Structure 1
């Protein structure tokens, strides 16, 4: 549930901030008549994301064992690529995100109603599709279907509450620290997803060594214990991983954490603090 909550919170807040920038810009520029068009685009993006998640679930449920293992492996590897790109993209582009969105919305307004709807749709759809793919990949092998759904729902609701609080100036959040800490946790989640993708490839007999275990800590961390379930659910750390699974986890997590934690180049001027009118996170 925690991994799903983290996905919903992180991705949901990114989408919420995008919507907040668009809404605040229209309100400040006295163009409230365009708000229904923005909400139409946002609603279409949400519907597409839910439909994409349902399609992934439906497809996986109608495959045989070998095909399902391959499908799960491909979605896991794609999710790892997308979440890694998203984490580093947000860190690099956060400072200019608000200005770029306002510029695109201004151009869309000049082009007409459909352009505004499409612009809002595209701005939110990317986050929604990433959320659906990442959520699907993260819950593979879950013992229950209700806990991940509850987790991601709570995460999205929390992100909406945070976004609303930022928009109404009722809340002040250090978004730099927020995206840094959630980025770190998501890297560990992504490492587990990558490890699970390798496991699925072994299950599908694409990769060898399924029974060649790197270590066995089942006596210390039983799979049916609460802490074993916690570590497996959050980061896909299992008591009996294969050598290839362990190597995949390490080869992804170590260099990714290194580049993520490496200090960025100093910029000439500090970014302004996050506000209602400019709810963008500092990089």
Structure 2
């Protein structure tokens, strides 16, 4: 790729508005998000993802996680429904879709899969089963360990072409692309573009600055929200924000750009009050409503 990336700045934000909901809107029409993930070791990951989705304006949230964490998660996020999924080896989520999860998948507008899953094989199999649900109006945000699982799911990805958003950091992109991290860092825009074309997806390649590419050749760039965002759970928040915006009717590329901008700008705002290092990922979503159009 030779053309320059468009910066995600105030001009881009103004030119690419998100839907504004008016009177008469219901929680269902504002958007329904399903978040799938978590494990006994990382039971709170979906809290970050789910709260981010709600804070960007999604109207309804369901979270599917291991049974040992489901009740706790429901209490932490009382605005959401919590779905208990069978627990497999090592406290990981069982990679099978039960009736409750299938029903939730049939009813949501956007689904996030991956946060808090610690086993690559489990994440890949769960992703395969989610992608076997042949809906034509479901958008998937694939995050964390689930990203590498897409590598062997090209045919499944083809059915979701134009309805996938991938949110890898360099390590996850290395698994997906087969390139080493140094090669990715040397030309992240080209790597993101190649993956976008290969999988028919919007690719959000995260680093100290972030590049977003889509299969049609669009390329966006965000300079970064500061080093404080390099903290555990930060990516879970970003994935939830993108899914929440998509559920409201925002096109995937615009949702990715807005999600990255909200995430970065929130990091900058929190840094001014808490300091540049040491704030927590769960502090970011509180800033989203202050940055969104009213």
TM-score by length of structure 2 reads: 0.21
The structure having more radius of gyration, on CA atoms, is: 1
The higher-RCO structure (CA 8 Å, 6+ apart) is 1
Structure with the bigger percentage of strand: 2
More helix by share: 1
TM-score for both structures, normalised by structure 1? 0.22
